[in-house]
Each structure stands twice: as C-alpha cells, then as structure tokens.
Structure 1
Amino acid sequence: MEGTKPKAGCPRAAGRVGESGMEGALVWLIYQRAPGVGRRRMAQLMRTYPDPEVAWRLGKAELAAVRGFRPDIVEALLAVRKSAEARRDAERELERARRAGLRVLCYGTRGYPERLAEIPVPPPVLYQYGPWEPDGRPVVAIVGTRRPTAYGLAVAEQLGRELAQLGAVVVSGMARGIDTEAHRGALEAGGTSVAVLGGGADVCYPQESAALYRQMRETGAILSEQPPGTAPRPENFPERNRIITGLSHGVILVEAGERSGTLITAAHAIEQDRDLFVVPGPVTSPLSRGLYKYVRDGAGLAVSAAQVLEDLGFLPSAEGPLHFTPRGLTELEQRVLGWMGSAPWWPGDLAESSGLPLPEVQACLTMLEIRSAVRRLPDGQYIRIG
C-alpha cells in the first residue's frame, strides 16, 4: 500500500505506513474487535482475503460467503467498521507501538514471515524488535520445561550453540529453564536467536533474562502478537507457542512433564506439520516420560544439531550456507539446487555455470518450483527459497 493514494473509507493509522505494515494492521485490529470474531474466524477471513485493503471493502454478501461466517458475525464485522471506539482503540495500540520503536508486521503485507502465514491460525499482527527477517536459513525451535534437570539445561545450551554454529536460527519463548539456555547457547556462539513472548514485545519477562532480551533485540528478534505494554498472562502462553512453531522448520523438545505447557507446543507443531524431535533422556525421569509418546508416534530423536538439520533436509550449498532441500529430490535436482545458492538465476546462466543442457535445467526448475524449493520471479529468474 506504500506510495498509493488511499481510497475513501480505507483506514489510516497514525505514524508511518508501508514497510511498517501499520495501515494494513489497522484493518485487522479493527476487525478483531468485532464481537464473536475469534482467532479462527479471523484466520478464515485472512486466508480468503489476504489483502487487508480488499478485506476492508467487502460487502455483506462477500463476508457471508466466507466459510463459517454466520449472519451475526457478518453484521458484527460491518458494524465494527463504523465504530469510532474500535478505530480509536486500534489506533492507540499502533501509536503505542510507534512510540516504543516497534516494527509492525501485518498479515498479507510485505515483511510478514511466509512460514507463519501458512499455519492454521496466523496472528494478524506481530510486533517486533530487532533486525531479523526470514532469509532462507533453517529456523529451529527448542522448548522445554521451566524446571529442568542439569542434564536438560546442558543439552539445551549445547543444541542452541551447535545450531547457531551451523548457521541456523534458534527460536524459543525466553521462559526460565530450557528456553533461556537455548537462547544463551545460540547467542554465545555469535548466532541469531528469536524470542516469542507471552506479553508485549516491549515487556521483558522474566526480568532475570534482561541481558538475553537486550542481545536478541539488537542482533535477532523479540516478537509478540500482544499489544505493547501487555503484562505476561498465563492464558497468553499457549497461543504464543503456535507462533514459535509456526516460524520454525523443526521443533526440539527437551524435557517436559506429562502436564507441561511444552506438550501444547508439540500439539501446535503437529497441527502445523512441523517436524518434531525429542531429546532422549532417562526412562526413569518424569521429564522424559512426557515426551516418549511422540517418539512412539514418529518423532525423531535429537542427538546433535547436525543430525537434526540433516533430518530436516538442510544441506550445504555450493556457496556454503544451509538451505532447505525437500526430501526425495533426484540427483539432478539436488545438483541444480546446490549451484543456485542464495542469488537469483536466469535458466541460461544456470545451465552454463552448472554444465547442464538448458532443457534439462528448465525442466528441473519447473519440478523444483512444484516442490516449493524455488520460486520464479516476475522477470523470469529463479531463486531458491527456505
């Protein structure tokens, strides 16, 4: 929407628009305030009409055609668009974000993480501190109990460190215990770590993790769907977990009791079709017993960072960094992906550089696009995607 003149009736937020996503965010924030419109109905609306400006202009018949939208829901959405109070509340929320220096990520606009947009219930708006953006590197979540054993703490730190050393981004929730050690390991290795909070992104919790919070804010990211200034509340953490898994290619579980919140994270990972890994532990430990059911149901074991990345399908390209490689590729497809690295390629240039006939390269790129391993750009070039 940046650089275009707003049409009559399209909401404008206070503060900057365009790259910040504030203008589109205002649409979703107003709609969220409609009575009876919960997360799943919002998700259905966003999937059907991902452009917030288009969604704002929907008529009664178009809203009624969205799956699951009863007449009362349609009326509530139409009414909230005219509500001065709902608009003021949404504008105040975005103004608080602006004053806090938060970046606003809006579903359906530039900058919103692609993998997160694909989950069943993506957050309409995210608030972010930090420079991190998804860039093709593997993203791995490490989660676990707040009351770990010394073994669990050591493994979380080691996996975080090893993953960072191999070029992966480590995501967790900055909770006490396993989360904190995973972040610490990644940061001490000089890597990138991302924390998804249950309160506002501008609220550091727990306070004893202030140093980690500051470091991630400077070098990685602090994310939250909660409005700025929101104190951490128990009811926010289960929903927060779906964002942790949604950002990730794979999720590692490190110690969790049979009633641990980590099991909610595992459920989100399964719903989102993320690969699940379990750190093996003593069968006599209650913190291990809560996780073995996932191994029985097909989860992998997390023995080392290299093994996890290999199981996820990440392989070093010819240029060095790790990239996602779908399972079941032919030898030719793997070879072409290896040559591509991170830069966009014309098919002819790729054929010349790889020494392969142009028709083979073109056919291979078509298959890789079908497998979501590459994307064709508007100018006809192809780029590898993570």
Structure 2
Amino acid sequence: HAEAVLKTTDYDLALANIESARGRIVRRAGQYTKALAHFDRAIAIYSAQHSDHRNLARTLVNAAYTKRLLALQLRKRIDARARRPDRLRGAAESAGNERSRGNLHARYNEICREALAQLERGIEIYTLHGYSSGIGSALLNAGHLHVDSGDIERGAQEALDAYTLALKKNDQILMARARMLQAATENARVDEGLGEDKDIEVHADTAKQYCDEAIALAQHTQNRRLLAGAYIMRGMTAASDFFQEWNVANECAVAASALLGPEDRDHLFEELSALKTLVLRVCGINDTLRAWSEGVLGDKTFQQITEEFAGIVIPKVWMRENKRISRVAERLSISPKKVRRLLRNAGVLDRNR
C-alpha cells in the first residue's frame, strides 16, 4: 500500500529522500562509510530525474561533510605513522612505511577534492533556487576542508562569506556555525605562529570572542548539538597552549557532555573526548606538582625529579616562544641541545630535528 501511495506521488524522489535521511542517521552514529553509501545512492536517484532539485544540493553537502570526517580519520592515521620512529626498523620496513604514508596522503587529497567538487555543485543548485542558507552551509563545509588542509586564509574568507549571508537572513544557526569556523581559523593561526607575538595574541583573543558569540547565538536556538559544538570549540580554545585556562576548558567539557546523548557518536563525541583528554592530562600534571610541593617524591632521585619537571615545563615554554628553540635556551639559560632532547622525549619534536 505504501509503495502504491509513493507511486502516485514522486516515487523516486521519495526514495532519494529516504536514502538521504538514512545517511544522516547513520552518520550521527559515527558510521561514516555506511552513511556515505546512503548519500551516494540518494545522489544517483536525484540526479536521474531531478538534477537541479534542492534536496540534491542538500545531499551533496551532506556527502561532502561526511567525506571531510573520513578525511580527518585518514589524517589521524597519517599523523600517527609520522610519529612512529623509524630508527628501530630495517631499511625495507621503513621504505614500506613511507610508501604507506604516501598512499594515505594521496587518498586524503582525493577525498578532499571529491568533497569540494560536490560542494561546488551544491552551491550551483542552491544558487538556482536563491537559497542562501544552503549556500552558506556549503561554504562552511568548504572552509573546514581548506583549514584542515592548511589553507587558513581561504577557509577564513569562506567563513566570513557564510556569516555575511547568515546575517542578512538573521539565520542564527548558520551564524553560530560560521563563528565556530572563524574561531577555528584564528586558532590555526595561533598554532602556526603566524605573525609577530602581538599578532598571535590578537588571533587568540579573536578566537575566544568568536567562540563566545557562537555560544550566545546557539543558545537562542533549539539545536543542542550546535550548542555542544560551540562549547567544545570554546573549551579547545581555552585549552590551547596560548591560554591554558583549564578551569574554563573543563566547564565547557561538562556543558557539552550534558547536551550530547548516547546516540551522538560522531565527530562531536570524538572532539569532546579529545578535550576531556587534554583536561585530564593537565590535571595529572597538577597532581604531580602538588605532590612534589608536599614532599611526596616516591623513590625518585633529585636528578630524576629535575628531568621530569623540565619535561613538563620546557614544551610549554617552547610553545609560548613560538616553537623557537634558541629563544627557549636563552630564556632558561640552558643549551639548545638539551632543549631539543627534552622536546623529543616529550614527543613534540621530530626525532630527526
């Protein structure tokens, strides 16, 4: 009976809508490959009979968004392999590891290109319909892809373009999402150490401002996931090496946790987990320092405690000095060689440097 009803309407359009909805549901559970399969089927159905339908544009944007999440997973694997030391491997194994990293890089770039092409097509369709919210959403997804790939300036421009569109329509959801991307671009500038010291401070403060605006905008909507994302972005900004505001970071993690349910196992869950890990890691450092201040040293010698303390402090000073080893050595009156050794031991400096 249901099939007969569908045939009296637009059967293929209804099927495509169902596939697209399934993709969104599965993606939220963190099953990105399965979600992408649903989106691909929906795109094929839409394209056959409704090549300029607005729902096709929405599905293209959803597919591109999912591909970005898959690309981020690939990049984690690439980074993990890059951190793996090759000095204990044989020449053949090291060469194989290098080829594997190269293959992952190629696949990462391919996924990003596919996603950007889908977003471009989505914008074309949304433009035909004069749907500014859809255009803004596609711009934001493109912006995230560009920031992920290191093109911070292009990502920042796309975030600004999306915010401008949202402001004209008073679209608070899109405005909040744009502010979050703008915060991400400012944080990326801080991480890259772009500009002079005073510029880095401006970028960090601007990131914090964008986060606060995103939270305020999200609070005026009924979108709890949007608000959770804004809190996570604010928490990550607070936990940055520039601010190190751990109480704020923890408060944001608690607020985001309260907004996400057991069904939320996608990128928001992963980002929240990363934030919690950062907070817990620092709490562990604080516990160590507190124990030392109370004379609780365990079986460690003074030399061991000195080395451990240096391993905590040196990476932090290095980050604050824009990752310049010479400045750390000069400020702390120690040799650059020792700074490099401590940074390598802390896992923040490549062993080949």
TM-score (norm 2): 0.34
Larger proportion of strand: 1
More helix by share: 2
**If the length of structure 1 is used for normalisation, what is the TM-score?**
0.32
| Greater length-normalized contact order (CA 8 Å, ≥ 6 residues apart) | 1
> Greater Rg, structure 1 or structure 2?
2
